[in-house]
Copies of this chain bind each other. A is one copy, B any other.
Amino acid sequence: MGVSIGKPRVTITDTENREKSKETFRDYLNREGLRVTNQRLAIFDAAFRHPEHFTAEELLDQARAIDHSVSRATVYRTLPILTESGLVKEIDIGRDYKFYLASKGDKTEQAQVLCLDCDHIFEIDAPFMEWYAGSVSQKVGLEPEAIRLQVHSRCTRLRRNHQCEHYSARQG
């Protein structure tokens, strides 16, 4: 897999993934009778160049850097297409805005660990979650369809050293 937890590597597989995903995107648009527009492609590219989680507003900025004509409305109208095609994952961590993440072709369910100190979101493979959700659902006679496990945490390193790589990154 192109990405390990400790040190996200930008390898050739990220570019490959982007190209393959763009093809998927085109196919999806055609299949749904939707048009392939410059704006949609710019938004797609912006999303897949983001190595981490991004907000709608950040996506707008990046997309505009690619195609100046992209508007906020189009970003908001395109995001559902991207999520429904499975290319982008929508992540709601209980803030008043949502986060998004370009899919890296993850097979397993993932949990989010949210650092309350540096605001970083870690995506963690959590294969066990699926089984657990099933067993918990069964208790009330339901069939699981989507799972969401989020752990809000504190960064011990940051508290001790008043610094950690993600915190520093955010502050610029």
**Interface set, chain A 46-105, CB cutoff 8 A to B:** 92, 94
On chain B, the residues within 8 Å of A154 by CB distance are 142-143, 145
Number of copies: 2
State whether A140 touches B152 (Cβ < 8 A).
no
A149-B149 contact given A139-B5, A140-B113, CB 8 Å threshold: yes
Name A's interface SS. Answer: strand
State whether A147 touches B151 (Cβ < 8 A).
yes
State whether B128 touches A142 (Cβ < 8 A).
no
State whether A124 touches B139 (Cβ < 8 A).
yes
On chain B, the residues within 8 Å of A140 by CB distance are 5, 113, 122, 124
State whether A142 touches B124 (Cβ < 8 A).
no
* Interface positions of A (Cβ within 8 A of B): 5, 92, 94, 111, 113, 115-116, 122, 124, 126, 128, 132-133, 136-137, 139-157
